[in-house]
Structure 1
Amino acid sequence: MPSERFDKGLAVRREVLGAAHVDKSLREADDFTRELQALVTEYCWGEVWTREGLDRRTRSFLNLAFLTALNRPHELKLHVRGALNNGVTRDEIKEALLQAAIYCGVPAALDSFRVAREVFREIDSAG
């Protein structure tokens, strides 16, 4: 049974990443992945993303840097969209990725720029 923290996390997760993506992730969860989806929704989104210490824009900037450092393009793609949903501009995303290039390495930043450009193209072609 979902908790209040899960429900808050689900709302934030949908707002940041988009309801279609989140609902698909939850719908496609199976016996192997269902508990991971619950954990991510409740603790990542319901516990951390709802804290008052940082606003969503700042959390998005951090995620862009962290995911670049970890070289996680699939998650980065989601969080580029999330950053845009949280009011981060394309120029700010570019600056965050340039900063990451210096501290995380050029190869990781090259991949992150490719991912961000792909998201921008998808958004531009849909609009």
Structure 2
Amino acid sequence: MNTATATGGEPQGNYPQKFAELTDNVLFGDMWTRTQLKPRERSLVTVAALVAMYRLEQLPFHLQRALDNGVSADELAEVITHLAFYSGWPTAASALNVLSELQVGLSERQE
């Protein structure tokens, strides 16, 4: 199998070449650049969807992307807390743990 290592321009794992191309060209190259929603809004929607579907493996990448797109850590925590009532307490608690781990990692890199 011919594989590529890319999703959104970031190394994420080995994927078949076509999957990586679709991810880079259609998802991040088209969907994320459409003008109807700002990148910040797309990040909030994406994080909410990932939390609600309990997709923890993809969450760190998109939490970081949300921070890069101007969403604050407090806003992310509030979105996740709000989702606790819609997607379940354990789902939100796990997502908050991922956010906390990301914040610790960012703090350690800044020191």
Query: TM class by shorter-chain length?
Result: 0.7 to 0.9
Q: Is 1:99 aligned with 2:59?
A: no
What is the identity, as a one-letter code, of the residue corresponding to 1:120?
A: Q
- Deviation beyond 4 Å, 4+ runs, structure 1: none
| One of 96, 107, 111 as aligned partner of 2:94 | 111
What is the identity, as a one-letter code, of the residue corresponding to 2:106?
A: I
Rounded Cα–Cα distance in structure 2 between residues aligned with 1:111 and 1:34: 32
The runs of 5 or more residues in structure 1 that have no matched partner are 1-9, 15-21
> What residue in structure 2 maps to residue 90 of structure 1?
73
Higher helix share: 1
Pairs aligned (count):
104
Rounded Cα–Cα distance in structure 2 between residues aligned with 1:68 and 1:80: 10
Q: CA deviation at 1:112?
A: 0.3
| One of 28, 38, 41 as aligned partner of 1:55 | 38
1:15-34 paired onto structure 2 within 5 Å:
22=10, 24-25=11-12, 29=14, 33-34=16-17
| One of 50, 54, 77 as aligned partner of 1:67 | 50
Aligned to 2:57, what secondary structure does the other structure show? helix
Aligned to 2:58, what secondary structure does the other structure show? helix
Q: CA deviation at 1:80?
A: 0.7
- Structure with greater contact order relative to length (CA < 8 Å, sep ≥ 6): 1
Q: Is 1:42 aligned with 2:34?
A: no
TM-score (norm. length: structure 1): 0.76
Rounded Cα–Cα distance in structure 2 between residues aligned with 1:113 and 1:34: 33
Q: CA RMSD in A?
A: 1.5
Q: CA deviation at 1:71?
A: 0.6
Summarize deviations over 1:86-117 as a string: whole Å, max 9, x none: 01101101111011111111111111001000
The runs of 5 or more residues in structure 2 that have no matched partner are 1-6
